[in-house]
Structure 1
């Protein structure tokens, strides 16, 4: 049987064998994990299983193939789907023979009509993850693949007859108010939550009413993402009342248990899309997708429209790198109007300080030109 912990006195011990593809590869364990809590015992068992399986595969078989590596790699459902066509191409290819240029060329061959973003997401990232899961961090360097340059992205977009990434305006209060007039209750609350907190759609969808809400104290918790921890935020009173009014909801198809309750009742990040699109159509406003309406809208509102302290905006919105926030999540708005306003402000200051005006300067230049021509 696989390794599992059991209590013995004050500590948790491990018993069982490590198995690989359903067969035991070690002698029977009966030893202390050194952990005083059950969770620590389970963690020891999983770490020991991973270590012994790696030793078994890499020690006994120096010619590990990509397919064998994929069989052991703990891929989630989405990554597993990306790996299927890669294994079809590279199943018998030795892991040690794979070079970064091979990965880039495979992406082009598998998806000739896709964008460079798709190549990265569906080929480079999964292959890199599988290979790095077998790299010894103490003895070897991580497997790295150079990303695609801007020139390569543009060239690929031209080759496939596309203009590249669709650009969406960031959300704004004006857009949000119109959207909410025609959106269902939970879509309206979802849009407001993302706009005022900077939460990603995946974070908002994952929120649970019991675990992530402290509405009596005017707070909600945004689940951690991108290597950052959960963050508790004070929210506006209007949002508190709106979230309080939401009924307890389970995602469609989920068991009706407290554990499966979700604040907005959606199963995954794509679930709100249909209602979101209908609300935009009914309001007669441009369609802005979740990320642009929420996180980009928050970044634009705080950094450009309201110009608050970027450190405060970054901390509240969950950016560890404020330079990334300003570079990626802010956008130029009303370019001509702002430049012309600045032009005339500077001109008025100069006219005031010199006693001259642009119109008299123009007349003087015209008179000098005529005189020189005569």
Structure 2
């Protein structure tokens, strides 16, 4: 018999089979729909019947929906939050029906005043990750989405009257010294550590006392961005500064409990922001984020200001490909007017006509 609804306690249950053209294709069923109303139970029956018929007609892998793929994906807390509206929109849609154009169309509807970079990061990337994870596990279709081109980015920036890719200002030694002169010992050591090692803010604030090897001037930084945990060398002065800091136990803002002792005393990668803004205001300098003070400042200082070759600088900063920091973290500091002036400068040239005395001097 086809699926029939009956009430059992507070919820409606179903029993029977899913039939297609008079043939049983799935069952037998005797299970709860978890619906407390008959209408909800009928919706469950309709969805289950549709799924089983689709599976029967086109096959199991092809019939997988985005919701099915979500169940296979191990999402981070951040990705899970971003996936919620995507599941609501296309959860019941078969993976075969999801296209790049469909995903790219959500950006203007959901976040009309966001940049194309935000659309890509918060919609395209997590949705594609779910679909391609299912492809690896089940052989369902792979998806490749064409990135937003520069014309789309410029058009969206014009619409929202705001540039999306602002040139970052890297820290230099003068900025670091001015910051440290107005900072407490913990934040002074933090900014120096990131400027010297190119450590990310999360790697820096996660340091615990056992991550230091004073005898070897080594510091252990945790794995991040696809790079494994590693021990990096710091200057003796930097190690002395780190050792002089009594470890602090920050409080977890979500649980209210104290965490393990940390070198710089921060419990999260965002806890420094307000304090740094106050320090910069007191020092009379421009506010720079930890990323600008650290990785941007590190690479620009070595390559642009000190002339260290990019391969060596990239290795010291733990970039696997020197082309990446050259494209993103190296900032030109030559004034444009000086560059243009070079085309108007009369270079001193040797006089091709020499006097007999000069010719004799050259022979000698």
Q: What TM-score, normalized to structure 2?
A: 0.74
Instruction: Note the 1:299-318 alignment, pairs <5 A.
Output: 299-318=299-318
1:250 matched residue in structure 2: 249
Q: What corresponds to 2:96 in structure 1?
A: 96
User: CA-to-partner distance for each residue in 1:134-190, whole Å, 9 max, x for gaps?
Assistant: 113795774221111122111101011212233331110000100111123222111
CA distance in 2, matches of 1:262, 1:60: 50
Over 3 Å counting, the alpha-carbon distance change for 1:338 and 1:217 in structure 2 is farther
Residue 55 (structure 1) aligns with: none
Q: Distance in 1 between matches of 2:202 and 2:338?
A: 35
Q: Which blocks of at least 5 consecutive residues in structure 2 are unaligned?
A: 1-30, 32-57, 354-364
Which residue of 2 is the match for residue 26 of structure 1? none
| Distance in 2 separating the partners of 1:354 and 1:89 | 78
* TM-score where L is the length of structure 1: 0.72
CA RMSD in angstroms comes to 2.7
Verify the 8 A CA contact 2:115 2:157 in the aligned structure 1.
Answer: yes
Does residue 285 in structure 1 map to residue 285 in structure 2? yes
Q: Residues 40-189 of structure 1 correspond to what in structure 2 (within 5 A)?
A: 63-136=63-136, 142-189=142-189
Tell me if the contact between 1:184 and 1:275 (Cα under 8 Å) persists in the aligned partners.
Answer: no
Larger radius of gyration: 2
Report the Cα distance in structure 2 between the residues aligned to 1:277 and 1:108, rounded to whole angstroms. Answer: 33
Q: 1:136 is paired with a residue of what secondary structure?
A: helix
1:239 match = 238
Deviation, 1:255, is: 4.6
> For residues 274 and 143 of structure 1, do their structure 2 counterparts lie closer, same or farther at Cα, with a shift above 3 Å needed?
same
Q: Distance in 1 between matches of 2:336 and 2:129?
A: 46
Residue 8 of structure 2: aligned partner: none
| CA contact 1:183–1:275 (8 Å) conserved in 2 | no
The whole-number CA distance in structure 2 between the counterparts of 1:129 and 1:177 is 43
5+ long unaligned stretches in structure 1? 1-22, 24-57, 356-374
When structure 1 is superposed on structure 2, of 136-145 and 88-97 the one drifting more is 136-145
Answer with 213-222 or 134-143: which moved more: 134-143
Report the CA distance between 1:354 and its aligned residue. Answer: 5.7
The within-5 A match list for 1:218-237 is 218-237=217-236
> SS of the counterpart of 1:164?
coil
